[in-house]
Amino acid sequence: WPMALMPLAAGLIIATPKTPSHIFLALAWISGFLLFSVSEKYIKSRFRPRYRAAVITYGVVTVAFTAALLATSPHLLWWSILFAPLVGYWFFSVRNRKERELASRFSTIAAAALVLPVAVNVPLLRPWFTHLDTQAWLMAGLLGTYFGLTVPYVKTLIRERGRASWLWGSIIGHVVATSMALALALSGWISLWHGLAWVVVCVRAALMPWLANTRNKPWRPAVVGVLETALSLLVFATLPWT
């Protein structure tokens, strides 16, 4: 849920001016997220009837809100250039039971992050590629990078616990991202607070697996989830809002 809602919330906050289309965007996005969630189960189950009613219900609701959104903001159709391949790859991955692979996870996270500049583009009434809002794309990149790195990090605690290749890959990715964040902070693109938030994120990527190995006991998913929720709120709160 944080991955789906935080980019949307950030986009709605910084979008100027606010329009009725933003309401349709929020409703279409949330219903679409629910549709994706149940559709993944439906596809993985080889289309068992038990999920069909939910897929149809969320599908109809999503189509209705999307139609209302496009009726009031037809220029948003241009975003399909970016969303179509990401959604297509997600479907291919789920259909072939590869939805847990990094590429599949990254594609869904990239799609989630894109809703931020979509929200900013809503009131502009022109194709997104004719006006790239620096703040929106920077914030989308920061959130997308954070959520993207949580994928290998969580794997080091649960499914890939004890595998050095995953641990080092996760740590290196976090170090690179944190270095870039600090460089952005020093150059004035983001606040020092956001740079420090990345330091905290980087430290936890190394500390949590180390503590699990030291205790010789894996972290409970609930503990990992609570910590990630807190960190995602920290990252969100310190984004470059101005």
- Residue spans of the domains in the chain: they are 1-125, 133-242
What is this structure's pTM? 0.94
Each residue's pLDDT expressed in tens, for the chain with a length of 242 residues: 789 999 999 999 999 999 999 999 999 999 999 999 999 999 888 888 899 999 999 999 999 999 999 999 999 999 999 999 999 999 899 888 888 889 999 999 999 999 999 999 999 999 999 989 999 999 999 999 999 999 999 999 998 898 999 999 999 999 999 999 999 999 999 999 999 999 999 999 999 999 999 988 899 999 999 999 999 999 999 999 98
Own/partner long-range contacts of 120-124 (Cβ < 8 Å, ≥24 apart) = 120/11, 120/14, 120/15, 121/75, 121/76, 121/79, 122/15, 122/19, 122/21, 122/22, 122/25, 122/73, 122/76, 123/15, 123/16, 123/17, 123/18, 123/19, 123/21, 123/22, 124/75
**At what angle are helices 134-157 and 221-237 packed, to 10 degrees?**
160
Joined together, the tokens standing for residue 127 give 């194709």
